[in-house]
Structure 1
Amino acid sequence: MIEFKVNGDYIPLIQLLKAANLVQTGGEAQIVVTEGEVMYNGMVDYRKRLKVKPGDTVEFRGETIRAV
Protein backbone atom coordinates (compact mmCIF):
# COMPACT_ATOMS: atom_id res chain seq x y z
CA MET A 1 0.00 0.00 0.00
CA ILE A 2 1.17 3.49 -0.88
CA GLU A 3 0.37 6.23 1.63
CA PHE A 4 0.12 9.58 -0.14
CA LYS A 5 0.14 12.84 1.83
CA VAL A 6 -2.47 15.22 0.45
CA ASN A 7 -1.44 18.87 0.66
CA GLY A 8 -4.60 20.92 1.03
CA ASP A 9 -8.16 19.60 0.99
CA TYR A 10 -7.83 17.20 -1.98
CA ILE A 11 -5.82 16.10 -5.01
CA PRO A 12 -7.41 15.40 -8.41
CA LEU A 13 -7.40 11.68 -9.24
CA ILE A 14 -5.34 12.15 -12.40
CA GLN A 15 -2.66 14.09 -10.52
CA LEU A 16 -2.60 11.42 -7.82
CA LEU A 17 -1.95 8.65 -10.34
CA LYS A 18 0.93 10.67 -11.80
CA ALA A 19 2.37 11.65 -8.40
CA ALA A 20 2.33 8.02 -7.25
CA ASN A 21 4.23 7.06 -10.43
CA LEU A 22 1.52 4.65 -11.56
CA VAL A 23 1.19 6.34 -14.97
CA GLN A 24 3.66 8.33 -17.05
CA THR A 25 1.44 11.19 -18.25
CA GLY A 26 -1.82 12.94 -17.52
CA GLY A 27 -3.15 11.68 -20.84
CA GLU A 28 -2.45 8.10 -19.82
CA ALA A 29 -4.17 8.74 -16.47
CA GLN A 30 -7.28 10.05 -18.25
CA ILE A 31 -7.42 6.97 -20.47
CA VAL A 32 -7.17 4.45 -17.62
CA VAL A 33 -9.86 6.31 -15.66
CA THR A 34 -12.29 6.47 -18.59
CA GLU A 35 -11.68 2.78 -19.35
CA GLY A 36 -12.73 1.84 -15.81
CA GLU A 37 -9.33 0.60 -14.62
CA VAL A 38 -9.38 2.69 -11.43
CA MET A 39 -11.34 1.92 -8.28
CA TYR A 40 -12.19 4.68 -5.81
CA ASN A 41 -13.19 3.57 -2.29
CA GLY A 42 -13.92 0.06 -3.57
CA MET A 43 -15.97 0.99 -6.66
CA VAL A 44 -15.02 1.65 -10.28
CA ASP A 45 -15.16 5.38 -10.92
CA TYR A 46 -15.00 7.07 -14.33
CA ARG A 47 -14.69 10.70 -13.16
CA LYS A 48 -11.46 12.27 -14.39
CA ARG A 49 -11.82 15.30 -12.13
CA LEU A 50 -12.58 13.28 -9.01
CA LYS A 51 -11.30 14.94 -5.82
CA VAL A 52 -9.40 12.45 -3.67
CA LYS A 53 -9.47 13.50 -0.01
CA PRO A 54 -7.62 12.19 3.05
CA GLY A 55 -9.09 8.84 4.10
CA ASP A 56 -9.96 7.81 0.52
CA THR A 57 -8.41 4.80 -1.23
CA VAL A 58 -7.62 4.38 -4.90
CA GLU A 59 -6.80 1.02 -6.49
CA PHE A 60 -5.09 0.64 -9.84
CA ARG A 61 -3.31 -2.34 -11.41
CA GLY A 62 -2.74 -4.15 -8.13
CA GLU A 63 -1.58 -1.05 -6.24
CA THR A 64 -3.58 0.60 -3.47
CA ILE A 65 -3.06 4.27 -2.63
CA ARG A 66 -4.40 5.59 0.66
CA ALA A 67 -4.70 9.36 0.87
CA VAL A 68 -3.62 10.73 4.25
Structure 2
Amino acid sequence: MSLRLPESLHAQLREMARKEGVSVNQYILMSVTERMARSEDYFAVRAARASAEKFDAALALVPSGEPVAGDELP
Protein backbone atom coordinates (compact mmCIF):
# COMPACT_ATOMS: atom_id res chain seq x y z
CA MET A 1 0.00 0.00 0.00
CA SER A 2 1.26 3.42 -0.87
CA LEU A 3 0.56 6.31 1.48
CA ARG A 4 1.28 9.97 0.85
CA LEU A 5 2.04 12.02 3.94
CA PRO A 6 3.14 15.59 4.46
CA GLU A 7 6.88 15.69 5.16
CA SER A 8 6.27 17.12 8.64
CA LEU A 9 4.07 14.16 9.61
CA HIS A 10 6.52 11.70 8.06
CA ALA A 11 9.31 13.25 10.12
CA GLN A 12 7.25 12.85 13.29
CA LEU A 13 6.54 9.21 12.40
CA ARG A 14 10.24 8.54 11.82
CA GLU A 15 11.09 10.04 15.21
CA MET A 16 8.37 8.13 17.05
CA ALA A 17 9.39 4.88 15.35
CA ARG A 18 13.04 5.54 16.26
CA LYS A 19 12.09 6.06 19.92
CA GLU A 20 10.16 2.75 19.87
CA GLY A 21 13.06 1.00 18.15
CA VAL A 22 11.00 -0.13 15.15
CA SER A 23 10.67 0.74 11.49
CA VAL A 24 8.17 3.35 10.32
CA ASN A 25 6.12 0.57 8.71
CA GLN A 26 6.07 -1.41 11.96
CA TYR A 27 5.13 1.70 13.94
CA ILE A 28 2.22 2.43 11.57
CA LEU A 29 1.09 -1.20 11.79
CA MET A 30 1.14 -1.10 15.60
CA SER A 31 -0.75 2.21 15.63
CA VAL A 32 -3.44 1.03 13.23
CA THR A 33 -3.85 -2.25 15.12
CA GLU A 34 -4.20 -0.41 18.43
CA ARG A 35 -6.74 2.01 16.98
CA MET A 36 -8.81 -0.81 15.49
CA ALA A 37 -8.84 -2.65 18.81
CA ARG A 38 -10.12 0.48 20.57
CA SER A 39 -12.84 0.86 17.92
CA GLU A 40 -13.95 -2.74 18.44
CA ASP A 41 -14.12 -2.14 22.21
CA TYR A 42 -16.08 1.05 21.66
CA PHE A 43 -18.65 -0.65 19.47
CA ALA A 44 -18.89 -3.65 21.79
CA VAL A 45 -19.67 -1.35 24.72
CA ARG A 46 -22.24 0.55 22.66
CA ALA A 47 -23.84 -2.69 21.43
CA ALA A 48 -24.12 -4.00 25.00
CA ARG A 49 -26.19 -0.92 25.92
CA ALA A 50 -28.54 -1.35 22.95
CA SER A 51 -32.07 -2.67 23.19
CA ALA A 52 -35.10 -3.04 20.95
CA GLU A 53 -36.97 -0.62 23.23
CA LYS A 54 -34.33 2.10 22.83
CA PHE A 55 -34.32 1.55 19.06
CA ASP A 56 -38.11 1.86 18.89
CA ALA A 57 -37.99 5.01 21.06
CA ALA A 58 -35.43 6.58 18.73
CA LEU A 59 -37.49 5.71 15.65
CA ALA A 60 -40.57 7.24 17.28
CA LEU A 61 -38.75 10.60 17.26
CA VAL A 62 -38.38 10.56 13.47
CA PRO A 63 -41.08 12.68 11.86
CA SER A 64 -43.31 10.91 9.38
CA GLY A 65 -43.50 12.13 5.83
CA GLU A 66 -42.42 11.42 2.32
CA PRO A 67 -38.72 10.75 1.70
CA VAL A 68 -36.59 13.40 0.07
CA ALA A 69 -36.37 12.90 -3.69
CA GLY A 70 -33.68 10.32 -4.41
CA ASP A 71 -33.95 8.69 -0.96
CA GLU A 72 -36.89 6.45 -1.83
CA LEU A 73 -36.60 2.70 -1.41
CA PRO A 74 -36.51 0.77 -4.68
Give the TM-score, by structure 2 length.
0.27
Greater helix share, structure number = 2
Higher relative contact order (CA 8 A, sep 6+): 1
Name the TM-score, length of structure 1 as normaliser: 0.29
